Structure 1
Amino acid sequence: MDDRIPAHLEVTGLIRAVEGAGGFGMVLSKGERTAGTVMVICCNRATPARAYERMPQLDGTRKWVLSKEQDPENPHDFSEWYQRRGAQDDDLWVVELDIANAERFIDVALHNG
């Protein structure tokens, strides 16, 4: 039995949590409603955007992993990358969370310093 939360509910919950904390969340690309995968783009004007995807681990869990970080010298490369990813995978949801330390909403610890 797969006890994953349906993708559309996870996405809705992420956006509501971010907006409840004073940020902004937006669906950039809709994937498969129930079993779709979710990519979260964490952004804030103070830092480059970062894309996280949940990846299967050897122990059977699924952990958020940094897939790509925006290069400040070439910011368009990042948006072209996630748009290509969405075009290649119809199941993929792409969600942008615009708030400081957005990683806290997907339970990723930031290591600053």
Structure 2
Amino acid sequence: MIPRLSTNLLIGALVRKAEAEGGFAAVLSKGDESSGSILVILTEKGTNPRLYERLLGADGLYSWQLALTAETDKSLEMSDFLARRRRFDPDLWVIELDVPSAERFAADMNSVG
């Protein structure tokens, strides 16, 4: 069995990593502290939001996958997506991270968990 971080610890690690890199982090909705699903909205200076989801692979390891991108005029689409997911999964965590280099941060998220 592969040991896993609790969701609460992973959220804390992502928030601290974003803040350490000069970014901003906000928990938009809390889910189950030990095993809730996670969606991360990554932005860079408040623009170009990208939604990443932590998924369990066939190899038993988690990885972050790009779930949705939204242009500024399509932000309603992202909020609708989040509302639907939250309605079907009350254990879902949603966090927003505004970081200086969103693409690099997204690549680094797999090293966090």
User: How high is the TM-score relative to the length of structure 2?
Assistant: 0.83
Equivalent residue runs for 1:54-65 within 5 Å:
54-65=54-65
- Residue by residue over 1:20-69, the C-alpha shift from the partner in whole angstroms, topping out at 9 and shown as x without a partner, is 11100111110101011111111123741111112222222222111111
| Contiguous gaps of at least 5 residues in structure 1 | 109-113
- In structure 1, the residue matched to 2:75 is 75
Aligned length: 108
Percent sequence identity is 34
Q: Could you say which residue in structure 2 is the equivalent of 1:85? A: 85
Match of 1:111 in 2: none
Partners of 1:45 and 1:6 in 2: CA distance: 29
Q: Is the 8 A contact 2:26 2:96 kept in 1?
A: yes
TM-score (norm 1): 0.83
RMSD between aligned alpha carbons?
1.9
Moved over 6 A (4+): none
The verdict on how the C-alpha distance between 1:60 and 1:107 changes in structure 2, with shifts beyond 3 A counting, is closer
1:13 aligns with 2:13: yes
Give unmatched runs, 5+ long, in structure 2: none
2:109 aligned partner? 106
Offset at residue 104 of structure 1 (A) = 4.0
Structure with the larger helix share: 2
